[in-house]
A and B are shown apart, each in its own frame.
Chain A
Amino acid sequence: AQSVTQLGSHVSVSEGALVLLRCNYSSSVPPYLFWYVQYPNQGLQLLLKYTSAATLVKGINGFEAEFKKSETSFHLTKPSAHMSDAAEYFCAVTTKRNRDDKIIFGKGTRLHILP
């Protein structure tokens, strides 16, 4: 079975500061990992994905994440926060090994950007 744990339900950073959102996963088989962003009253938008190629994954809007198998982590970072980054962020895992490719989501981290 797969699961995802996001550390911190709320994270606040100042505009221009480093953004670090933490995610740890559990999977009995090699995982595919994702970060999604959700703005208020919106659906989910894919930021980036890891599918067993390069361990450092670059996504949209300047975000990137590094897959660390030894730490079972897939933390999301951005060097310099912008006010428009304020949103809810979800880490997610799937395996693509079953007949279905259901995605297992974490509980989310709400990112607040301080002026």
Chain B
Amino acid sequence: DAGVTQSPTHLIKTRGQHVTLRCSPISGHKSVSWYQQVLGQGPQFIFQYYEKEERGRGNFPDRFSARQFPNYSSELNVNALLLGDSALYLCASSFGFSEAFFGQGTRLTVV
């Protein structure tokens, strides 16, 4: 079975640009969460979606938004990129409220 897949794996953007990160959950998983991991730190919770409904939001500015599609895949959007947005963005999927499985992440570099 395929695990959680994220695309792209690496991305370089310029300050002020917009970025869209994509995540496909494990088949059958209806919950998708997004985390930001800055170098040298643990992952920080950004969003959780379950059945296309936002279930939780972390302490991130409104420049960050997300959505979940009918097939349970998800997009994370970040507007007006700042240098501080450079990080590894991790997507996790779970079946309802259970163990979370993480993807390999998208490494975003803002220059």
Contacts and interface: CB of A to CB of B under 8 A. Distances in A.
| Chain B CB within 10 A, most for which of A44, A45, A105 | A44
A18 interface: no
B58 A102 contact: yes
B99 interface: yes
A38 to B, nearest CB: 9
Contact of B55 (A45, A99, A103, A106): A99
A30 B62 CA distance: 32
Q: What interface size band does chain A fall in?
A: 20 to 34
B104 interface: yes
A90 B42 contact: yes
Given A43-B102, A46-B99, A108 B41 contact: yes
Interface string A74-98: 0000000000000000101000101
Interface in B38-74: 40-45, 48, 55-56, 58
B94 interface: yes
A99 B31 CA distance: 12
B33 A43 contact: no
A112 to B, nearest CB: 15
B104 A43 contact: yes
B100 interface: yes
B87 interface: no
A106 B42 contact: yes
A13 interface: no
Contacts of A102: 33, 45, 48, 56, 58
Interface of B: 4, 31, 33, 35, 40-45, 48, 55-56, 58, 90, 92, 94, 97, 99-105, 107
7 contacts: A46-B100, A49-B99, A92-B42, A96-B97, A102-B45, A103-B35, A105-B35
- 7 pairs of A and B residues whose beta carbons are closest in the complex: A100-B56, A105-B42, A102-B45, A44-B102, A43-B102, A100-B55, A100-B48
